[in-house]
Each structure stands twice: as structure tokens, then as C-alpha cells.
Amino acid sequence: MRHRITAWAIMGLLVASAWAAYFFMISKDRPLDSFVPALVRLTCPVAIVGSHYPVSLYAALFANAATYALVGLIVETLRPRLNQAK
């Protein structure tokens, strides 16, 4: 179970890194599509805080990894119970 939670945390780190790379590469003059901010807030919850307060890149990466690890802990804890119910 520890390896699965670590995999969740790594996935959160990769998602936040991908968004950071995307925003570094796009042009500042080009407006964002309407679905991009919603997708960012859904996949990177620290972006909600970042829209109100300044958040460093490293803090965002760490917070997203921690958020995904917490979600992974919840999912992996409930997973055996859901499999028994079948």
C-alpha cells in the first residue's frame, strides 16, 4: 500500500510539473481557453490558493504531491472494502 500512495504522490508532482511547464511555454499575450483554468483547479487544487495568494513553484509542487498522496491514502484505504462488497 505504501508503494501505491507513493505512486499517487509522484503523479501529483508530475501533474503540477506539467502545468508549470505549460504555463512557462505559452505566450503571455495569448488569452487562455475557458476550460484551462477549470482543468488546472481540478487537477492542481493548490491553484485555487494561488489565484488569491502568491505561491512559489516548489510550494505548489509539494502541495500538489501532498494532496494527491492524501487522496491516494483515502482511495487505497477504501479499496479493499469496495472489493469485498462485490
**pLDDT in the model for residue 16:** 93
For 1-31, give the DSSP string.
-HHHHHHHHHHHHHHHHHHHHHHHHS-SSSP
Q: What is the pLDDT of residue 86?
A: 62
Cα angle at 25 between 19 and 26, to 5 degrees? 90
Q: What is this structure's pTM?
A: 0.82
Site of grid cell 462485490:
86
Amino acid (one-letter) located at 9: A
Mean pLDDT by 10 residues, the chain (86 residues): 90 94 83 82 88 88 94 90 70
